Amino acid sequence: MKLKVTNEDRQLFREVVKKHGIIKESLIMTLLGKVLGYQIEKAIKNDKDIQSAVKAADADMDRARVLIDDLIDKGLEVPPFMKKWATKK
């Protein structure tokens, strides 16, 4: 089934492009990005390997926070780049 583009449709498209300051390529890229983003998000939600990797990373970050807090409690010097992960300041 083919859709026929009327002159009114063309004029409306030109007005939208002019009003929002977009070019045709950026409109297509935006639409394509949304579709691909949705497909990637859907694939990540259904992928058990990625989910287990994220859980493992979260557990490792929790352990790192505990270790950094223990170092702070003991009065040892903690490097500045590690302090951003500490729960105790």
Per-residue pLDDT at 41: 81
Which residues 6+ apart lie within 8 Å of 24 measured at CB?
17
Domain spans of the chain, in order of start: 7-46, 48-89
The confidence score (pLDDT) of residue 78 equals 86
One-letter-per-residue 3-state SS of 18-67: HHHCCCHHHHHHHHHHHHHHHHHHHHHHHCHHHHHHHHHHHHHHHHHHHH
Q: What pLDDT score does 30 carry?
A: 76
Asked whether the beta carbons of 85 and 68 are under 8 A apart, the reply is yes
Q: Residues of the chain whose pLDDT is less than 70? A: 1-3, 22-27, 88-89
